[in-house]
Amino acid sequence: MRWTGLSSSPGDTPTLPGIDSERLASEDIGPADNLISILIDTLRRNYLETAKKSKRPTERIILAHAIIALCRARKSRIANDLACMTSHRIESENERVRVPDYALDQHTQKGKNLGRSWDHWSEEGFKLSNEVEGLNVYRDQALALRKKHGRLKPKPEGDRRGGKKRNGDPGLFYSKHRREQRKTKSSSRPFKAALPALLSVLQPSEVV
């Protein structure tokens, strides 16, 4: 902690001093501990908030927490090396990668020109590595509906931020202004309205 800038001048903008904690969480730790980035981001915000409110330097406790977490986490520089390798290949060596044929599905112009359909996409486009077997029980139903109706239609303009729909009916989620107007009423009403539709598509084993 002595290296992190505890002796910085009074009045300095509070931060996690002396350490680029967010970068270190990805550069030196990365996927060896994927949760560390979330923790460091939370601690950074807690540090800033505490430094503003507290008359005593209690934010140093949060700083200590961040330092301990970074030091004790399992380490890997794989993210740093991948970024370095890819950047040099593209920017320093002008390497260009050919898009593989399987990636040219109906979402791309070349795929459309080749007549690629939802069948091609289901066989090639949405293949997942390391997929959990048996978890996705909606795959066949969703594919059948995609083939029947195509992609989902864009939302009406007035529906994109949780306001009213164009036909005047209230949306499922209300804007902040609408929530303020209705704060004396039940806040669970939008969820209750959607619950029957949600339960109708869930598998019996998923309803507890």
**For residue range 6-21, what is the model confidence (pLDDT) as tens digits?**
544 444 544 555 457 8
Domain boundary among 51, 72, 93: 72
Residue 72 has what pLDDT?
A: 95
Assess if residue 97 is contained within a domain.
no
Assess if residue 199 is contained within a domain.
no
* Dihedral pair phi/psi, residue 103, rounded to 5°: -80, -10
Q: For residue 119, give both structure tokens.
A: 């069948």
- Residue corresponding to tokens 């795929």: 111
Domain boundary among 56, 72, 88: 72
Assess if residue 171 is contained within a domain.
yes
Assess if residue 173 is contained within a domain.
yes
The domain total for the chain is: 2
Rounded to whole angstroms, how far apart are CA atoms 37 and 26? 7
Assess if residue 198 is contained within a domain.
no
pTM above 0.85, yes or no: no
Q: What is the pLDDT along the chain (208 residues), one digit of tens a residue?
A: 655 555 444 445 445 554 578 889 999 999 999 999 999 999 999 999 999 998 888 889 999 999 999 999 999 999 999 999 999 999 999 988 888 888 888 878 888 888 888 888 888 877 888 889 999 999 889 889 988 888 888 887 766 554 444 454 444 444 555 555 555 455 555 555 665 665 565 655 554 4
Domain boundary among 55, 72, 89: 72
How does pLDDT run across 69-95, given as a tens digit for each residue?
Answer: 999 999 999 999 999 999 999 999 998
Assess if residue 29 is contained within a domain.
yes
Assess if residue 170 is contained within a domain.
yes
HEC string of 136-184 equals: CCCHHHHHHHHHHHCCCCCCCHHHCCCCECCCCCECCCCCHHHHHHCCC
Domain extent for 10: 2-72
Task: Identify whether the C-beta of residue 23 lies closer than 8 Å to the C-beta of residue 11.
Answer: no
